[in-house]
Amino acid sequence: MRIDKRGVLTGTWNLSGNQACAEGALAAGCRFLSAYPIPPSIEVVERFTQRAKEVGAVFVQMEDEISVLAAVLGASWTGKKSMTVTSGPGFSNMMEHLGLGVMLETPCVIVDIQRAGPAIGIPTRVGQGDMMQARWGSHGDYEIIALSPSSPQEMFDFTIKAFNLSERYRVPVAVMSDAYVAHLKEKVVIPPAGKIKIKPRRYYKGRKDKYLPFKRDKDFVPRMVDIGAGYRFHVTGLTHDERGYPIMFEECQEHNVHPLVKKIRHYVDKIVEFQEVETDDAEVVIISYGATSRFALKAMEQARKSGMKVGSLKLITVWPFPDKRVAELAKKAKAFVVLEINYGQIVFEVERCSYGNANVAFVSHGEKGIDNIEDLLSTIEQVLKEKKVRKGIIEYRT
Amino acid sequence: MSTAHKFMCGINESGRHKMSPVKTIDSKIIHPMDNLLRMERIPHIWCPSCGIGLAVTAFTAALEKAKIDLNKVAIVSGIGCTGRVAGYTKLDSFHTTHGRPIAFGTGIKIGNPEIKVVVFSGDGDLIAIGGNHFIHAARRNIDMLVVCVNNFIYAMTGGQVAPTTPLAAYATTSPYGCVEPPFNIPYLADSSGAVYVARWTTLHIRRLTNSIAEALNKRGFSVVEVISPCGMYYSRINKLGDGLDMMKFYHDNAEIRHGEDTKNLDIGFQTKIIVGKFVDRERPTYMDSYNKWLSEIKTEEKLRK
Amino acid sequence: MKANPKDVNTGVYYIDGDVSSGYGALAAGCKFVGGYPITPSTEAFEAVCRRGPLVGAMFIQMEDELGSIASVVGASWAGVKSMTITSGPGFSLMMETIGFGAMLETPFVLLNIQRGGPSTGVPTKTGQADMMQSRWGSHGDYELIAISPDSPQEMFDYTIKAFNLAERYRCPVMIMSDECVGHMTEKVVIPLADEIEVEPRRFYDGPINEYLPFKPDEDLVPPMVKAGDGYKLYITGLIHDERGYSIKNEEYKSIYTKRLVDKIRLNKDKIIELKEEETDDAEVVIVSYGISSRVAVRGIEKAREKGIKVGSLRLVTVWPFPDEKIAELAKTIKAFVVPEINYGQIAFEVERCSHGEANVILVPHGGAGVHNPDDICDAIEYAAKEKKRIEGVIEYKTKLEKLVFEEGYKLHE
């Protein structure tokens, strides 16, 4: 698909994660951003608005996060790739409309720059406490895709990937970043426009009077149209049939909602991505994502030097979760050590997928400073000493 | 119901309504509204003696009268009885979340400024939970038409109090009488910056049609409030009779006063209702200001690297 | 402490689950309900609006769910037991403030009458798809308690219990009911006030100038005070120390926020309530909650008629999840069968806690109805026959799924 060159700032730059995210969105063809100011995501908006004029993109700051996501969904239906950026409290406010986005099968990207703590927390400090919320935050059944970048380069790349996945599966995609990666400044290489792969929207091209908004292709994904193109379609958040009209029976619920879940679950193998380092002979595998994966690698190197056989599994897509790979590794390795900046979220998924074949230890990172890996190293040592598999999640007190 | 009537309503022998294409006799469309309604979904869900049907009739007639490209009209509704209107009108229609159709519509308008956005929803949806979005869209002067059907109650969920319920009226969540003074919707719209504000009752069907047609061609945030009877809840709980009795009440108590100061438009319990066109002014719309700003940027700022 | 006789409308009634819960709240001493009408929970709110003023309880219908939950947290800090009533979409809107309430250790009760979802879904019919959301819906780390009643009588009893747990552990408590139980009309016996145990709020009673709002007692729960008593309280959602003042250093963060999760995790045994039946020699155990557990009874009967040894584990408290119990049962049985009105939520928790020692079979249902007991019986049969250990949650194909996707069911003419 022909990419709009105006959005691609080809070159080698020194950008922060937030700036790279804005550039990634523009490169992917995003032309509508709506947001509400909340640290630590503000720089994404600032960068986007600086570049908006030359690229032909538009930005609107709405009165609260609820209306932000509503506006993004509305704009997406006009054919514009749309995005929003927020943080913990804003993400919580967006939950109802995330459900609407899922039900209307609207492609859009939600970037959550996670920060510390429940409630207002510490707005300027890093956290990874919204990971489970990305999957289960809204009511009802649905499946969602969430990516976790660990560097400004990945912020650029994964934002583009997020747009592609959202167009392919017609589902909102969350980019779960965090305040550390967002404010880190590193080298970012933006390739020429021709080298960037963009997934176009899957449009319906048949007769206008025969358009059925929710008639699904074989892969459970229906075809979209734009407002104003003469289709006179109707969509609703109520449970609906393929015409988009509400029907309040359990058969319709099964017909409408089961494919929402299947369209991701049946394609897990195509969606899931992760990065493994030295896991072939590993006795302990460190599982991490986002900011913590940088420290996992550092600890892995140090542990190897001390003779411990340690590998690293970095999750690129956190949702859907890579059940299969974790189950496979659990049979080979003795233990997993899950490193996250929270009190246990993805570690429960790791426990679920190890099926009792490996110990699962948890390290809450960041207590003593973001780059302090003492707790991680000591957990690796201690879990290696375990003789049998203990049930439940092990947390060593330091 | 006579067979002919059933046929018109699209009900087959087993009693379920069937998908009926537009019926013609001698290739003429039976009813002028048929091409603007999703006839396969008629009969609708509204109760007997509900006024929303009249509001929809006025709206569809206004759509024709305004002579706008109907392919470029998007209608957005929220949740509630009036919120179901989007599902029956044959335009690009959206049935969104409670209180947020204005926000959703803002996204549509900015995403594609060529689309004429109509938000058609109820008093609870637009003024209670959606109150914040109502005042902000008016402040920004987003070019959209808001038709607010005001039946003084939350009807869909069973008759709870609304911020437009008159003082002392009964509702299921104010079983001892409403203690809260209601909003005056034209005043709220006017003071927030709306450029066109009118109020009619469902009795004033022709004037309502003209108002909506005028507002459809107006640039900027326009609000048309439609006072409507709710025979199932509001008038029943308050022992005011059914829809027809309410219409008689409107007939005897509505007073047309064009240009009246919106401050004076409060509605009490069974008091006079002032109707008419109150505000019709010009202000730059949101996209006007935005585009003007864009064109005035002569120098590109250096990007921070 | 016993309930106040003025609050309790003792008697034998024939009422629905929603109304029952409303009466239960008032009996527990709830004096503030902030709500917003949302089907199918409106009857509960209306019951409180009718009876509340007669027992001195205040209610207000706010302009939206965000306003409701905010008013409830505020009222709790004014010293009264408070509650809000909602359903799926409203629950989603309340997420930010629920996290805020959990952070501030504010006791309140949230009644969620689940309906078919996602989004607007099927407002007038049942669902159980908010279960994971009740645990993980808000951002950041926190723990709370969720209860799942299965009858109008339980709606009354467990609403009182919810208030007691909220006061005891100073956290939000969710009553995850569903439309079927909420609109089911059954006999409800409201006992005499002195047969009802009510937990009073634990107020601080030391000198004013020594008060530290977030200094915990031995059980990790700090005593509370209320606005207007001269403590010059400072309450913030920012991460705070014992005085309630915000901190900026990560080191201290763990001391204060870890306690929020520990106070529930370490007191799990006192909070969890389960109803077990015939699990000792069972080959298959049904794990269920809410309305599904009642439907499962019929499925279990049928399976037992076929000679299968079926046990039942009903989760009364769904959160915190009974990890140890599931792990224990997994060792002796062949499989768990989890019927839920969703496409897999608590089934994943059961999978997690079985550690690969038992199969986990999910009997899903989209919502807008309840399970067909035959599906549950067939799933039990399959579970008993399956000899292989299969990793992952096995999704059982129900008759409804076959009807809609394989037999070409016509949704409309």
H-type alpha helices, C78-235: 88-93, 95-103, 131-136, 152-169, 179-182
C interface residues, B as partner, C-beta within 8 Å: 35-39, 42, 45-46, 49-50, 53, 59, 61, 63-65, 89, 119-120, 412-413
- The reported pTM is 0.88
Neighbours of chain C (3+ CB pairs under 8 A): A, B
Of residues B73, B83, B40, B33, the one with CA closest to residue B209? B33
Tell me the residue range of the domain where A303 lies.
273-394
Per cent of chain A over pLDDT 90 is 86
Query: Cα–chain-centroid distance for residue A81?
Result: 17
| Shortest distance, CA C4 to any CA of chain A (angstroms) | 35
Tokens matching residue C223? 């005593």
Residue C266: inside a domain, yes or no? no
Q: Is residue C217 part of a domain?
A: no
Low-confidence ranges of chain A (pLDDT < 50): none
Contacts of C59 in chain B (CB under 8 A): 173
Structural domain includes residue C233? no
**Peptide bond connecting C40 to the previous residue in cis, omega within 30 degrees of 0:** yes
CB–CB contact C64 B156 (8 Å)? no
Residues on chain C touching A41 (C-beta within 8 angstroms): none
Judged by a CB distance cut-off of 8 A, whether residue B12 touches chain C is: yes
Q: Is the predicted pLDDT of residue B12 greater than 70, yes or no?
A: no
Instruction: Tell me, yes or no, whether C268 lies in a domain.
Output: no
Q: What is the DSSP letter of A214?
A: T
> CB count, 10 Å around CB of C406?
9
Check residue B22 and give its pLDDT: 54
Q: What angle do CA C233, C69, B159 make, to 5 degrees?
A: 140
Task: Note whether B7 and B127 are same-domain residues.
Answer: no
Within-domain flag for A188: yes
Query: Are B213 and B187 in contact, with CB atoms under 8 Å apart?
Result: no
More confident residue, B199 or B291: B199
Residues C181 and C289 in one domain: no
CB of C216 closer than 8 Å to CB of C256? no
The CATH number of the domain holding residue B120 is 3.40.50.970
How many distinct structural domains can be found in chain A? 2
The two counts, helices (H) then strands (E), for chain A are 14, 17
In a 13 Å sphere around the CA of B121, the CA atoms on its Cβ side amount to 35
DSSP A101-147: HHHTT--EEEEEEEEESSTTBEEEEE--TTHHHHHHSSSSS---EEE
Q: What is the pLDDT of residue B293?
A: 80
Say what the pLDDT of residue C283 is. Answer: 94
Q: What is the CATH number of the domain that holds A344?
A: 3.40.50.920
Residues of chain C found within 8 Å of residue B161, distances taken between Cβ atoms: 61
- Written as one string, the DSSP assignment of A3-22 is --GGG---EEEEEEHHHHHH
Cross-chain Cβ contact B74/A238 below 8 Å: no
Strand (E) positions, C2-48?
11-16, 30-35
Q: Are residues B1 and B45 in the same domain?
A: no
Pair (B212, B127) in one structural domain? yes
Residue B41 confidence (pLDDT):
85
**Which chain C residues are within 8 Å of B131, Cβ to Cβ?**
63
Which tokens sit at B268? 């009490």
Domain extent, residue C42, equals: 5-195
- What mean pLDDT do residues B283-288 have? 93
Number of domains making up chain C: 2
Q: Do C366 and A254 touch (CB under 8 A)?
A: yes
Preceding amide of C200 cis, omega within 30: no
8 Å CB contact of B111 and A53: no
Which three-class secondary structure string do you get for chain B?
A: CCHHHHHHHCECCCCCECCCCCCEECCEECCCCHHHECHHHCCCCCCCCECHHHHHHHHHHHHHHHCCCHHHEEEEECCCCHHHHHHCECCEEEECCCCCHHHHHHHHHHHCCCCEEEEEEEHHHHHHHCHHHHHHHHHHCCCEEEEEEECCCECCCCCECCCCCCCCCCECCECCCCCCCCCCHHHHHHHHCCCEEEEEECCCHHHHHHHHHHHHCCCCEEEEEEECCECCCHHHHCCCCCHHHHHHHHHHHEEECCCCCHHHCCCCCCCCEEEEEEEECCCCCHHHHHHHHHHHCCCCCCCCC
Assign residue C374 a region (left: φ > 0; alpha: ψ between -120 and 50; beta: otherwise).
alpha
Asked whether residue C190 falls in the same domain as residue C278, the answer is no
Which tokens go with C40? 């199918």
Which of C140, C251, C392 lies nearest to residue A119, judging by beta carbons?
Answer: C140
Flag if A233 and B92 touch (Cβ within 8 Å): yes
Of A120, A343, A354, nearest to C237 by CB-CB distance is A120
Contact C368 A253 (CB under 8 A): yes
Quick check: B136 and A62 CB within 8 A? yes
Q: Which of C195, C212, C244 represents a domain boundary (last residue)?
A: C195
Question: Could you give the number of structural domains in chain B?
Answer: 2
B91 and B10 housed in the same domain = no
Pair (B200, B52) in one structural domain: yes
Q: C326: distance to nearest CA of chain A, Å?
A: 11
Q: For residue C320, is the peptide bond before it cis, meaning its omega torsion is within 30 degrees of 0?
A: yes
Residue B288 and residue B185 share a domain: yes
Q: Do B12 and C413 touch (CB under 8 A)?
A: yes
Q: Tell me which of A139, A164, A193 is where a domain ends.
A: A193
- Asked, for residue C225, whether it belongs to a domain, the answer is no
Test B98 with C46 for CB contact under 8 angstroms. no
B153 lies in the same domain as B283: yes
- Nearest-CB residue to A70 (from B38, B103, B110): B103
**Is there a single domain that holds both residue B10 and residue B68?**
no
Q: Give the CATH number of the domain where residue A56 resides.
A: 3.40.50.970
B171 shares a domain with B23: no
Domain check: are B7 and B60 in the same one? no
CATH of the domain at C155: 3.40.50.970
Mean pLDDT, residues B200-204? 96
DSSP output for C259-302:
HHHHHHHTTHHHH--EEEES-TT-SEEEEE-THHHHHHHHHHHH
Backbone phi, then psi, for C199, in 5-degree steps? -90, 120
Asked if the Cβ–Cβ distance from C103 to A236 is below 8 Å, we say: no
Residues C46 and C143 in one domain: yes
pLDDT at B29: 62
Same domain assignment for residues C32 and C135: yes
**Within-domain flag for A221:** no
Q: Are both B18 and B143 inside the same structural domain? A: no
Both A148 and A283 in one domain: the answer is no
The pLDDT, as a whole number, for residue A104 is: 95
For residue B295, give every residue at least 6 positions away whose Cβ sits within 8 Å of its Cβ, in sequence order, or none. none
pLDDT in tens, B224-246: 999 999 999 999 999 999 989 99
Q: Where among A166, A193, A220 does a domain terminate?
A: A193
- How confident is residue B20, by pLDDT bands cut at 50, 70 and 90? very low
CB-based contact, A3 to chain C, within 8 Å: no
Q: Any chain B CB within 8 A of the CB of A306?
A: no
ω before A37 within 30° of 0 (cis)? no
Read off the CATH number of the domain in which C381 is found.
Answer: 3.40.50.920
For B96, which of A53, A78, A100 is closest by C-beta distance?
A: A100
Running DSSP on this structure, what letter comes out for residue A210? Answer: G
Residue contact B110–A234, C-beta within 8 A: no
A177: its two tokens: 């970043």
Whether residues C153 and C32 share a domain: the answer is yes
Subunits with at least 3 CB pairs below 8 A relative to chain A? B, C
For A20-29, the pLDDT digits (tens) are: 999 999 999 9
* B98: chain C residues, CB-CB within 8 Å: 64, 89
Give the single-character DSSP code of C312: E
Say yes or no: B289 and B245 in one domain.
Answer: yes
| Greatest CA separation for chain C | 74
Query: Of C39, C42, C51, C113, which to mutate for an interface test with B (greatest number of B Cβ within 10 Å)?
Result: C42
pLDDT at B10: 46
On the question of pLDDT at B205 being above 80, the answer is yes
User: Is residue A315 situated within a structural domain?
Assistant: yes
- Give how far C354 is from chain A: nearest CA, Å: 7
pLDDT (tens, 9 = 90+) of chain C, 413 residues, equals 999 999 999 999 999 999 999 999 999 999 999 999 999 999 999 999 999 989 989 888 888 999 899 899 989 988 899 999 999 999 999 999 999 899 889 999 999 999 998 999 999 999 999 999 999 999 999 999 999 999 999 999 999 999 999 999 999 999 999 999 999 999 999 999 999 999 999 888 888 888 888 888 888 888 888 877 878 777 777 888 887 777 766 666 677 788 889 999 999 999 999 999 999 999 999 999 999 999 999 999 999 999 999 999 999 999 999 999 999 999 999 999 999 999 999 999 999 999 999 999 999 999 999 999 999 999 999 999 999 999 999 999 999 999 999 998 888 87
Domain that holds residue B5: 1-27
Domain boundary among C144, C167, C195: C195
Residue B129 near chain C (CB below 8 Å): yes
Do A173 and A29 share a structural domain?
Answer: yes
Last residue of a domain, one of A172, A193, A214: A193
Q: CB–CB of C46 and B158 under 8 A? A: yes
Given C137, C169, C195, the domain boundary residue is C195
C183 to chain B, minimum CA–CA distance in Å? 14
